[in-house]
Structure 1
Amino acid sequence: MFDELSQRFEDAVKNLRGQGAISESNVEGALKDVRRALLEADVSLPVVKDFVDEVRRKAVGAEVVRGISPDQKFIQVVHEQLVDTMGGENAPLAAGGKPGEPSVVLMAGLQGAGKTTATAKLGLHLKEQGRRALLVGADVYRPAAIEQLRTLGGQIGVEVFSLGTEARPEDIAAAGVEKAREEGFDTVLVDTAGRLQIDTSMMEEMVRIREAVQPDEVLLVVDSMIGQEAAELTRAFHEQVGITGAVLTKLDGDSRGGAALSIRKVSGAPIKFIGTGEKVEALQPFHPERMASRILGMGDVLTLVEKAQKEVELADVARMQQKLQEASFDFSDFVQQMRLIKRMGSLGGLMKMIPGMNKIDDGMLKQGEQQLGKIESMISSMTAAERENPDLLALMPSRRRRIAKGSGHTPAEVDKVLADFQRMRGFMQQMTKGGGMPGMPGMGGMPGMGGGFPGMGGFPGMPGMGGPAGAGGRGGGSRKANRPPKKRKGFGEL
């Protein structure tokens, strides 16, 4: 998401390029583009008006220091205002009340927003933090809602409690809290029922549940696809139930992002978590500053590093770093790196967290993911000895023909992947001598960053796919960097 909004903001600052200073006359064109960008992103109209007024007030007459152009200063002002509009800083979950008492979190929202899945995702997030959570199924209306929660709980190893569909939701919630108190759970997550639209019965039920369990948090689960309606939804829940925060779901879709910019301004309650995919692991704490950087195309390296650190073991990092430096990186290592990427999320989503990579064409990223699948099928057709010693394939064309037949590809495709892989090993050896991205050794990088995302050519470690201009791949970079490798013994037919 946010791709269209990012492009609009980029268009807005073009009006200020080449200007000597920010003034009332030249800033209006940029503000007009900002206003249009926000409205097209489905941001609530009052929020848009306040945002533009604040940017105008801060930008006009802002001191532009030597070495900083007016358009760069304008971007800084917009970034600061985006951060302020979305809440300023990360707001963690409340720690709970009295010692020995579990912290209680009510999950509220409309039907279809992903509330049950968000409940399980939050349970896994707390488990990874060392907390012991109990999921409580209090949605007695939607068919199979409780069963869905039980299934998700089983997948993540978090216990689920319910009294079935005949009990009253407030009684289920109260019984769940009592069970947590008796058995030493420190957090209770109550999945409540939603409706297709806000109605009196739903609000009354939420109030009864709230009175029964006295929650520390009431989190409103909001579908980011609903745009401007998020403002009215948030206002209604806040006025009648009283929310303490929000969980924004489906941020991996084609939503325009308006909900993220409207919720805090309308309710005063912060967005605490965002859902970035269908997998139960796809939940992140919401950081306004990081999100503002993504919107403005500045990337989000901190979140990228956190994702890598979560998946990578320190021992594996050291081992992989050494293999890269020695150019002994083999196909088994390559598969391990590809699977690491898959666990972290989509290739496109990860690449766009790198500053400057937001302009990579989605078609290229999709092609890269498809190529990764082809390469993995070829590696699956190799013997263990061939994976550990790729030079065996260079010396024996018959092995390459067997792999091509077994994976359903042509010998020429196998030859190309092998040649790219050998070239990649040499390049990654050079890059790792200068150090890699913090927390991500062994994943390669962009030229000058010391490492790379395996599997996508043009970037180090990505055989089989051309890179964008200037990235050191077939589409650009220095002539020396793109020079084909010298033929090695046994590679005459490649």
Structure 2
Amino acid sequence: MAFEGLADRLQKTIQKVKGKGKVTEADVKEMTREVRLALLEADVNFKVVKDFIKRVKERAIGQEVMDSLTPGQQVIKVVKEELSDLMGGEQSKIAVANKPPTVIMMVGLQGAGKTTTTGKLANLLRKKNNRNPMLVAADVYRPAAINQLETLGKQLDMPVFSLGTEANPVDIAKQAIDKAKEEHHDYVIIDTAGRLHVDEQLMDELQNIKEVTTPDEIFLVVDSMTGQDAVNVAESFDEQLDISGVVLTKLDGDTRGGAAISIKAVTGKPIKYAGMGEKLDELEAFHPERMASRILGMGDVLSLIEKAQDNVDEKQAKELEEKMRSASFTFEDFLEQMQQVKNMGPLDELINMMPGANKMKGMKNLQVDEKQISHVEAIIQSMTKKERIDPGIMNASRKRRIAKGSGTSVSEVNRLLKQFDEMKKMMKQMTNTSKKGKKKKGLMNFPFM
């Protein structure tokens, strides 16, 4: 997960002041020193770190903290607000042209994931904003770039405008907008050419495309794995093209997060979107305040709710709650829920969005085994409908049949049956005690954790 090292270190640092009834200047000095080291190790720009620490220190030693009844909590609030401001403060929304189509230029270096991000953005606009985008293949130099975009268009059932590899990219962009007007597309997303490094020829071409299309947005796609180099690339493109925003790719990887934290402060241009995986639905609007919460271990409930709203059927969720209360939850229900939750994204990522999950016993080093999930699904799918509804009828021959059908062993089938039974009991306890305000300690023993 992105920011993992930074998050661990910052959380340990701020925990030291969290419960303090009194915070001294020495406490603040020690905390800001640790925060400074954590940010520098995460590859955050040195000048950005210096300014950030200065602001945190001024506020943390100021009256809003020292006069507070909970000074430790106030210090954490200051760090969170300043971290959020550093990344842009508020979500920067996409522009909408007064007269359609809205034109978006996608620019960046080769290898940053520009073409895939073009498809992801079109998919997001259609899904979330109910838009009707058209993709434009204006990269005539990179082998198979046009084919790649056309393949994405087919996967998304979305039109791709192309004039082949021999046409001038400026003409392609110009004609694409005319075509979009004819066919009533409200967004035109132009996938432009990239290079291995910034050069004069590339910038001239991009400036010419900008001149003939007058784009509403120019998005620079940068690979967050490149760290501080991503910030340097952003500066170069912004100087030449006056970009309107940045899209960070591979933010789900083991990137240290320095690019995400530095880009806004260095260029003044907001991060608009973040790629959180390879699938075409794994592009998210970037929310600085939510990311700050996630980094500081406060969870990201709003993003979790949005994912649930997009992927979980509300009626089914209510029915499921009733089944949990009455302990009538079956393997049929479990399989259905597994498939809905899988659509929301990697499970360990979802767990990290839960407030305080990093402090819960067993959660810190929780590993979700995706292969094990497949094994569990295979076992359940090898059961008959009667067995899924009433696992109590399982005997030795049924278990052997299920193991054979799922490519697993009888011991794995037994383990799943035992874990499922334990999980049902815990679910019932949790739903029944939640009304009384009691808290159940420990983790649900899910069969894939």
Aligned counterpart, 1:415: 414
Answer whether contact 2:20 2:70 (CA < 8 A) is retained: no
Aligned-residue offset at 1:158: 1.6
Q: Are the counterparts in 2 of residues 106 and 215 from structure 1 also a CA contact under 8 Å?
A: yes
For 1:134 and 1:204, the matched residues in 2 are separated by 24
**Cα distance in structure 2, aligned partners of 1:19 and 1:464:** 39
Q: Relative contact order, CA 8 A, sep 6+: which one is greater?
A: 2
- In structure 2, the gaps of 5 or more residues are none
Partner of 2:391: 390
Q: Which residue of 1 aligns with 2:323?
A: 323
Counterpart AA for 1:191: D
TM-score (norm: length of structure 1):
0.84
Partner of 1:68: 70
Query: What corresponds to 2:122 in structure 1?
Result: 123
Does residue 95 (structure 1) correspond to residue 79 (structure 2)? The answer is: no
CA distance in 2, matches of 1:202, 1:219: 16
Find runs of 4+ consecutive structure 1 residues off by over 4 angstroms.
17-20, 64-67, 359-363, 433-436
- Given that 2:311 and 2:341 are in contact with CA atoms closer than 8 Å, whether structure 1 keeps it comes out as no
- Higher mean C-alpha displacement, 379-388 vs 203-212: 379-388
Partner of 1:293: 293
Change in Cα spacing, 1:53 to 1:130, as seen in structure 2 (3 Å) is same
Following the alignment from structure 1 to structure 2, what is the Cα–Cα distance between the partners of residues 220 and 44? Answer: 19
In 2: Cα distance, 1:15 partner to 1:431 partner: 31
Matches within 5 A, 1:139-288: 139-288=139-288
- TM-score, scaled to structure 2: 0.93
Structure 1 residues 122 and 351: alpha-carbon distance in aligned structure 2, compared to 1, 3 A threshold? same
Secondary structure, aligned partner of 1:193: coil
Residues in 2 aligned to 1:105 and 1:38: alpha-carbon distance in whole angstroms: 33
Matched, 1:58 2:59: yes
**Residue 83 (structure 1) aligns with:** 84
Amino acid at match of 1:32: R
**3-state SS of the aligned residue for 1:52?**
helix
Deviation of 1:222 (Å)? 1.2
Q: Deviations over 1:412-431 (max 9, x none)?
A: 33222112212222322343
AA at the equivalent of 2:270: P
- CA drift of 1:160 comes to 0.9
- Alignment-derived partner of residue 41 in structure 1: 42
Structure 1 residues 432 and 206, CA, compared in 2 at 3 Å: closer, same or farther?
A: same
Structure 1 partner of 2:423: 424
Q: Which runs of 5+ in 1 are unaligned?
A: 437-446, 450-457, 466-494
The 8 Å contact of residues 347 and 365 in structure 1, kept in 2 or not, is answered as: no
Compare the two structures and name the one with the higher helix fraction: 2
User: What SS does structure 2 have at the residue aligned with 1:94?
Assistant: coil
Q: Is the Cα contact below 8 Å between 1:230 and 1:262 reproduced in 2?
A: no
Pair 17,427 (structure 1): closer, same or farther in 2 beyond 3 Å: closer
Alignment of 1:433-452 (within 5 A): 433=432, 448=439
Pairwise CA distance, 1:127: 0.8
Quote how far apart the aligned CAs of 1:410 are: 3.2
Q: How many residues are treated as equivalent by the alignment?
A: 442
Using the aligned pairs only, state the percent identity: 49
Letter in 2 for 1:400: K
In structure 2, the residue corresponding to 1:7 is in which secondary structure? helix
Tell me the amino acid that sits aligned with residue 147 of structure 2. Answer: E
Q: Distance in 2 between matches of 1:314 and 1:12?
A: 40
| Aligned residue identity for 1:248 | L
Report the counterpart of residue 7 of structure 1 in structure 2.
8
Larger CA deviation: 226-235 vs 304-313: 226-235
Measured after TM superposition, the shift of residue 294 of structure 1 is 0.8
Does structure 1 retain, via aligned residues, the 8 Å contact 2:91–2:272? yes
Cα distance change on mapping 1:435 and 1:18 into 2, 3 Å: closer
* Alpha-carbon distance in 1 for matches of 2:130, 2:180: 16
RMSD over aligned CA atoms reads 2.2
Q: Which residue of 1 aligns with 2:302?
A: 302
CA distance in 2, matches of 1:315, 1:10: 38
**Does the Cα contact within 8 Å between 2:246 and 2:271 map onto a contact in 1?**
yes
Distance 1:222 1:170 in 2: 23
Cα distance in 1 for partners of 2:198, 2:282 equals 27
CA shift digits 1:71-126 (9 cap, x unpaired): x322111101011111111111101133xx20000011111111111110010011
**Aligned partners of 2:136 and 2:176 also within 8 Å:** yes
What CA distance in whole angstroms lies between the structure 1 residues aligned with 2:258 and 2:154?
34
Aligned residue in 2 for 1:475: none
Shift of residue 153 of structure 1? 1.4
